[in-house]
Structures are given as C-alpha cells and as structure tokens.
Amino acid sequence: MINRLINISFSFLFLAIIAFLSYHCANPRPPAGGPEDIYPPIVMKTEPGNYSSNFKGDKIQLYFDEFIKLNDVINQVFISPPQYEMPEFTVRGKSVIIEFQEELLDSTTYNIFFGKSIVDITANNPLDNYSFVFSTGDRVDSLVLLGEVRNAFSRKLEPDVLVMLYNDHYDTVPLDSAPYLIRPVYVSKTYDDGKFALISLKQGKYKLFALKDVNSNYLFDLPNEHIAFWDSLIIPTYPETLFEADTLADTLDQALMPGEALESDSLLTGLDAKSELPYYHLMIFNEIDSTQRLIDAELTKEQLLTFIFRYPTSAPLIEPVNQDLEEAWKLDEWNMSMDTLQRWLLRVDYDSVLFQVMDDTLVLDTVELPLRKDERKGLFKQKKEEELPEVLKFKNNIKGGELNFPGPVKLFFTYPLEAWDFSAVRLFTPKDTILVDVKFEDTITRRTARIDYSWKEKTNYAISFPDSILRDIIGRQNDSVTFSFTTKSLEDYGAVFVSITLPDDSLPYIIQLMDEKERVIKERIMHESGMQAFELLNPEPYKLKAIRDINRNGRWDTGVYHQMRQPEKVYYFGNIIDVRPNWELEEEWDIGE
C-alpha cells in the first residue's frame, strides 16, 4: 500500500514539475455568474487514467468540466516517443478522443503533450501544457530531466523548441549522426519561458539535443534549423532520491483537491529547496555554411555595383574577364566586416561587363552585370528635361543642433567626391571667422570628411560651404549651405568604470558596451583582468556583454555540430547600467560567476 502511494505521488510530482517550469498555478473556480470567464477547462476524468500502465487499446478519452475545442493541433500537440503517423483527435462536446493510427511499442511509456491546444469554446481560455502519460508495459517510467534553452548569442530564453533524447548507441547509425537520420526516443518542447521538462523517462544514458524543427520531421536536415547539444551523455534523475516518502505523500495529500490541478507553491518550494536535480543549460545556434559564396551582385544605383558574400572575405578579387577597362575606372569600398563590397564606377564605357569573383584563389562565381541604368525597366528615377539638375547634398553628425563635445564635425557624402575645394569652407566662432582644416577620413572613396577644431564647451558655431565647391562622380554640385550648432558640455556626459575579472586569462575576451537595443557603442579586447573605462557617454541605459574569443578573430562565432564545436560563450553583466549626466559609476564584473 505504501509503495502504491509512493508511485502515485511520483506521478503527481511530474505534473507539478511541469506546472512549476511554466509558471502556471491553478486558481479555485469563482461562483457562477462572475463577470468574466478567465479560467481554463478542468480535466474531470480520463479513460484510461493518467499514468496508467498495461495499456492495450488504441483510444484514449479525456473528459472536461465544460465544452472545449482544439486549436492548432499540428503545432501544439506532440507525442513522445514520436510516431510517424499522428493520432486522430476528435472533439465531442466536453471530451476529446485520441485514436492511434499506428501500433504502439511494447513496454513503452508515452507522453501526449497538448501545449495550448485545449481551450474552452466561450472565452478561448487555454489549459496550458497539459500532458497525458500512459505505459504499454506493467510500469510507468519515472525518471525526469529538467533544463532550459537559450539563444547562444543573445542568451534569450527560447520558447517552442523541441528538446530530444537519443539512446546512447544504435546498431547501424553512429550516435553523433542520429539527429540527421533517425527520430528521438523522447521529445518535449520548451514552454513560453524557455524551460523544459522531460518526464517519464526510462533508466539509461542519452544524448541530449534541442532543435528548432522547421519542417516538423524531428530531424536536423535544413540549413535554417537551429540546434543545441550537450557535449556528453546524460543520465535522467529519479525523484525518489530527493524526498522521504512519507513527507512527499503528506505534502501531495494537502496540495491536491478533487477536480483541481496542482498548486505549485507549497509543493514545489520544497522541491526547489530540497532537491539537487541536474539542470541543463542548452545554447541553441544556427550553423553557418563554411563554404564561401557570392550571395548577391547587382547594380544597386547609378554607378554603384554591390557584391555581397556569405561571410567575410580573406583575399577577394573581382575582375572583368571580357572587357579591357580604362585604368582607374572604379573605387572599391569594403564594409568593416569585409563581406560586402561597394564598387563605385568612375568611367562607364560599356553597357555590361562579365566579372569573375574569387576569394583566396577560389573562383566563386562568374556574373554579368549592367553598368548603365535601364530606362525601360526604370531601374533608376528618370529626370525630365525641364527638371533642374540634381543637387549634391550631404549629412553631418550634428543632432538636434548639438555637437558631441569635443567633436569632430563629420560630413557624409552619398557618392564619392570627384572634385572639392575645402579652402573655401569657413567656420564662424563667437569672436571670428576662420579657415578650418577639412580632411577625408577615407582617402580612397572620399565619402567621409571631418573638421577638427579646439571646440569650447557650450559655445555657438556655424560652418559655411559656398556654392559649387564640391562635385561627386555623377556630376552633382552643392548649393551654398550653412549649418549652425552648439557644442555640448562635459557635464552633459557620464562615465562608467568597470573592474572586470576574466575567467581565463589565456584567451582574449571581447567586451562590448551596448545600448538597450544591443547596438554596440564601444568595444574593447581584454587579454587579462583589469579596469575598463567608458567615458563621454550620453545619458541613457547601457548593457555590458562579453564574448570568449576562442579563435582570436575579434568576433563571435557560432557552433558547428558535425565538428562537435559549441558556439563561443557569451556573458551579460547582470544589471542595466543607467548612465546619468555629470556622473561616474563604478561596477565590478566577475565574468566567471
């Protein structure tokens, strides 16, 4: 009798674990006639009972306290171990009938997970994460496995991800190839908070994976599917080792009332306090094909060719193969990550050119591209004869009439400049009008220039550009323009000083200061523990991120499953750093904790 009570108690414990991980606690029903129905359906009875053994039939029926319907069965409901043919689900009033379409395995524990599919017909309140467990053998397997899945780069918790277990060996398939070729023996799915619970598991050693299964076939077989894997075999835990049997049974008797779901607070606070269940943190990632490819090549606008590569180039060469072009016919501009080339055309003598694209002596592609706009296709906006010539306009880094102190002023041109006379530019100060030093930051493409000066805080300035002193490669010239601004004060900024302790001084760590949208504001490379000073920061919230740069290439690298390579580890500082004007913050960050 005591053993039977213990077994029943363990079954309820598994349900409680699911309730705990998905943060859903049951609430008692209000009296009839309340203002709004906000409560999910309640399971009143099942045939056979939940956690039944020796199941020999092909049909299961669930009875509820109100009329229900099933939503999105294909995506919400799954069965573990997975079946090749999905059971048939039929709703009849206040009940759901599940009819299996293929023969069940002998001596196997099954778990039907309903997700959010069961809802009442009046208010669409879902019965979250309900599971029905049964066994075709004389016992229900009772081991559990708990954990969570996070995005490897952002560390955000990932909902609706399959979590799968494979046996520790197969006769004809190498274990490392199992996710490519065979279905798992157990499967679950992460809840809205990214946590998962695999329950009713058989004793043994397993390989643990997580998968964003795009085509719903339980296989890692598409390039856009994300995967996570545990490096070693895992062994599920038996809850009997966590509690004294009498204490567990008494707690369950107090927590459970007829017709109600589990209240997790009283029961699982004890679980959290007394247990030392292994908890697995899986980092899910999307592999990057290591084969370099030319993704796109086109005439993106007048006199501009754009070449986009799959990943950063090492020794690129993009040359015409069917035409002899004049010397100095182009200007090449690579982005910082060296995966996109903007080729500005200076002289266009042909309608199209055939280019051979190479990277590190490997021929990637041969593409024929137009070098002129196509009037028939309307590739670019056509100018009417009566329209005035287009004017060269440019932008600057002055925002809201204010320049970040101590400067410089930066100028940004859409096209490379072909001719310029910076000697005509004038700076108006409160006391004088003077010449200024204007220099190109990029001396090849000439699309960014800067004006350096010993600016004073909280001072008004103006810069004047006379008419027609600038001309770009498509022949546009500037109008006369003057822009005024005020320099900010040092008191407008804040600073953060962070004492960073690295877990491993043998590897470099990339330290990134980011805004709330995770755009990188400042980046440092650290080779040993020490202080990092981030000064002249605009007052706003910031985040701190660290990347363990294993291959020392200065950027984060994803994992590659077939090489058994995990993605590079990412760490976040635990708190948002709220920078205030004229204020200095000191923080300590032990990355290894």
* pLDDT tens digits, one per residue of 384-436: 555 556 899 999 999 999 999 888 999 999 999 999 999 999 999 999 999 99
**pLDDT, greater one: 169 or 157:** 157
Contacts by residues 472-475 (CB-CB < 8 Å, ≥ 24 positions apart): 472/392, 472/413, 472/414, 472/415, 472/416, 472/417, 472/418, 473/303, 473/331, 473/344, 473/345, 473/346, 473/415, 473/416, 473/417, 473/418, 474/302, 474/303, 474/415, 475/389
Confirm whether 382 is domain-assigned.
no
Work out the pLDDT band at 344, boundaries 50, 70, 90.
very high
CATH code of the domain covering residue 269: 2.60.40.1220
Please give the pLDDT value at position 508. 95
The answer to whether 415 and 303 are in contact (CB under 8 A) is yes
Find all residues with CB under 8 Å of 517, minimum gap 6, and list them. Answer: none
Convert the pLDDT of each residue in 111-153 to its tens digit.
998 888 999 998 899 998 788 999 999 999 989 999 999 999 9
CATH number of the domain bearing residue 523 = 2.60.40.1120
Q: Is pLDDT at 106 greater than 60 in this prediction?
A: yes
- Within-domain flag for 289: no
The DSSP call for residue 165 is E
CA-closest candidate to residue 349, choices 373, 329, 335: 329
Residue 556 lies in a domain: yes
Q: How far apart are CA 579 and CA 582, in angstroms?
A: 9
Supply the pLDDT for residue 374. 63
pLDDT for the residue numbered 239: 67
Q: Which residue has the tokens 């099933």?
A: 70
Of 490, 518, 547, the position where a domain reaches its end is: 490
Cα distance between residue 278 and residue 233, in whole Å: 13
Phi, psi of 405 (to 5 degrees): -85, 135
pLDDT in tens, 480-499: 999 999 999 999 999 999 99
Q: Which residue has the tokens 């006769």?
A: 171
Domain assignment present for 580: yes
| Domain coverage including residue 310 | 294-370
Enter the tokens of residue 372. Answer: 């002129």
Angle at 156 between CA 308 and CA 197, to 5 degrees: 125
CB 291 within 8 A of CB 360: no
Inside any domain, residue 385: no
pTM score? 0.73
Residue 555 lies in a domain: yes
Q: How many domains does the chain contain in total?
A: 4
Burial 486-521 (b: 16+ CB within 10 A, else e): bbbeeebbbbbebebebeeeeebbbbbbbeeeeeee
Q: Could you tell me if 445 and 522 lie in one domain?
A: no
Q: Please indicate, yes or no, if residue 525 is contained in any of the structural domains.
A: yes
For the chain, report the end-to-end CA distance as a whole number of angstroms. Answer: 47
Q: 446 and 433 in one domain?
A: yes
| pLDDT band at residue 6 under the 50/70/90 scheme | very low
Quick one: pLDDT at residue 276?
65
Name every residue whose Cβ is closer than 8 Å to that of residue 221 and which is 6 or more positions away in sequence. 180, 215
436 and 303 within one domain? no
Question: What was the pLDDT predicted at 34?
Answer: 54
Longest dimension (CA), the chain: 99
pLDDT of amino acid 390: 87
**In 22-171, where does DSSP find H-type helix?**
73-76
Q: What is the pLDDT of residues 437-452, one digit of tens each?
A: 999 998 889 999 999 9
Is the same domain home to 475 and 352? Answer: no
- 544 pLDDT more than 50: yes
Domain's final residue, options 490, 510, 538 = 490
Mean pLDDT within 358-376 = 81
Examine the domain organization and report whether 274 and 318 are in the same domain: no
Residue 35 — very low, low, confident or very high, per pLDDT cuts 50/70/90? low
Q: Which residues pair with 363 in a beta bridge?
A: 358
CATH (domain of 299): 2.60.40
Q: Residue 290, exposed/middle/buried by CB under 10 A (0-12, 13-18, 19+)? A: exposed
3-state SS of 516-572 is: CCCCEEEEEEECCCEEEEEEEECCCEEEEEEEECCCCCCCCCCCEHHHCECCCCEEE
CA distance linking residue 429 with residue 195, whole number of Å: 61
Q: What is the mean pLDDT of the chain?
A: 84
**Average pLDDT rounded to a whole number, residues 570-587:** 95
Using omega within 30 degrees of 0 as the cis cutoff, is the peptide bond preceding 539 cis?
no
Looking at the structure, do residues 223 and 364 belong to the same domain, yes or no?
no
Final residue before a domain boundary, out of 490, 522, 548: 490
Kindly report the backbone phi and psi dihedral angles of residue 164, in degrees, each rounded to the nearest multiple of 5, phi listed first.
-130, 145
Rg (CA), the chain: 33
Closest listed residue to residue 22, CA positions, set 146, 119, 125, 138 = 146
378: in domain: no
Q: Are residues 507 and 486 in the same domain?
A: no
How far CA 573 is from CA of 136, 409, 500, 586, in Å, comes to 49, 33, 10, 13
- Same structural domain for residues 486 and 504? no
In the predicted model, is pLDDT for residue 247 greater than 50? Answer: no
175 and 262 fall within a common domain? yes
Round to whole Å and give the CA distance between 206 and 210.
13
Q: Per-residue pLDDT tens for 258-274?
A: 333 333 333 233 334 34
Residue 51, class by beta-carbon neighbours within 10 Å (0-12 exposed, 13-18 middle, 19+ buried)? buried
In this structure, the answer to whether residues 162 and 278 fall within a common structural domain is yes
461 and 545 inside one domain: no
Based on the fold, state whether residues 480 and 509 are members of the same structural domain.
no
Q: How many CA atoms lie less than 13 Å away from 349 in the CB half-sphere? A: 9
